[in-house]
């Protein structure tokens, strides 16, 4: 779930007033080296967290190469495994996905380059007003008071792809209708070498778009439908792909505010990569499972639209 944040938030700490415009600037403030604002905390005392090796049924792993290049028996089994993963977990890992590791690493590096820009540079790409309709359906009252109830330790960039127009920066979710107000080639700037990632973002978007659509073919077949059913029904040829990048700075009190609150994701499928630091947890059979950060692997999450369309599927949290 993306987070929302007012353009300037004021927190009082140690009898001083501190203004910050993103979680990153907050994390770098000397006022918050040892503690976090109370509005960032949420109660997770009743959550049961388990490591993957303590779960009887392991996290599903799908070999993508067998889906697209395997023989009949291999492909049939892979389709069955995808359907089972969607129904029982709402989540699976994908290996042998044909997205070069170098492209994935460059994409992550470019995201960090953007987050490490000065705040005034990032301000140039800020949009007008947050759009709460794009936030997932988690209950707002579960995470502190407004206006920062959804902001639990992250900053977010959203990019519309394959035409890479940035919609969101600094943790503020922008309306899709404001896209015309954004610089056409943000994140691929000719003038700023830190933002010169046109080829990287285009290549990453193209390959993940193909990966996602092929996985949806497998999902369609697992439901007893023709391979292109979901693709055609949802008109994905003219659909919207979003690239979201979340930054989670080190938290001095992770037991009080550990990333995001429980949530589901917007869209059909979420293809997630991590930067080598584990932090993702998924809900399975009433327990939160820690998902290890695995190199050169995509984590695939069943999202709202796919769950609504296909009732047997489990919506992952």
pTM: 0.72
pLDDT in tens, 273-284: 988 777 788 888
Report how far residue 217's alpha carbon sits from residue 92's, in angstroms, rounded to the nearest whole number.
15
Average pLDDT over residues 21-33: 70
- Could you tell me which of 260, 263, 7, 270 has the C-alpha nearest to residue 138? 263
What DSSP element (H or E) covers 107? helix 101-115
The answer to whether the beta carbons of residues 314 and 307 sit under 8 Å apart is: yes
In DSSP terms, 83 is beta-bridged to none
Query: Does the domain spanning 9-309 belong to CATH 2.60.120.330?
Result: yes
Mean pLDDT of the chain: 68
pLDDT in tens, 250-259: 777 777 765 5
Four-residue CA torsion sign, 76, 79, 85, 91: positive
């Amino acid at each position: 779930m993306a987070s929302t944040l007012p353009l300037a938030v004021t927190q009082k700490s140690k009898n001083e007033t501190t203004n910050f415009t993103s979680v990153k600037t907050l994390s770098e403030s000397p006022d918050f080296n040892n503690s976090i604002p109370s509005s960032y905390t949420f109660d997770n005392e009743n959550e049961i967290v388990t490591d993957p090796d303590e779960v009887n049924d392991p996290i599903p792993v799908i070999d993508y190469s067998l889906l697209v290049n395997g023989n009949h028996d291999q492909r049939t089994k892979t389709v069955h495994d995808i359907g089972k993963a969607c129904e029982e977990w709402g989540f699976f890992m994908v290996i042998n996905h044909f997205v070069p590791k170098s492209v994935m690493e460059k994409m992550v590096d470019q995201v960090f380059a953007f987050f490490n820009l000065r705040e005034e540079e990032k301000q140039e790409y800020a949009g007008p007003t947050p759009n709460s309709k794009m936030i997932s359906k988690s209950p707002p009252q579960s995470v502190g008071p407004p206006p920062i109830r959804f902001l639990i330790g992250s900053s977010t960039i959203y990019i519309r792809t394959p035409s890479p127009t940035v919609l969101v920066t600094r943790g503020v979710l922008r309306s899709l209708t404001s896209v015309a107000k954004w610089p056409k080639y943000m994140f691929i700037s000719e003038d700023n070498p830190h933002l010169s990632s046109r080829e990287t973002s285009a290549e990453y978007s193209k390959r993940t778009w193909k990966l996602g659509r092929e996985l949806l073919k497998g999902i369609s077949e697992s439901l007893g439908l023709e391979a292109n059913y979901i693709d055609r029904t949802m008109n994905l040829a003219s659909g919207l792909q979003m690239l979201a990048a979340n930054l989670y700075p080190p938290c001095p009190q992770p037991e009080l505010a550990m990333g995001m609150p429980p949530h589901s994701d917007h869209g059909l499928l979420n293809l997630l990569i991590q930067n080598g630091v584990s932090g993702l947890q998924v809900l399975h059979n009433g327990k939160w499972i820690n998902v290890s950060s695995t190199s050169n692997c995509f984590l695939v999450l069943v999202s709202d639209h796919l769950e609504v369309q296909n009732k047997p599927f489990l919506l992952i949290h």
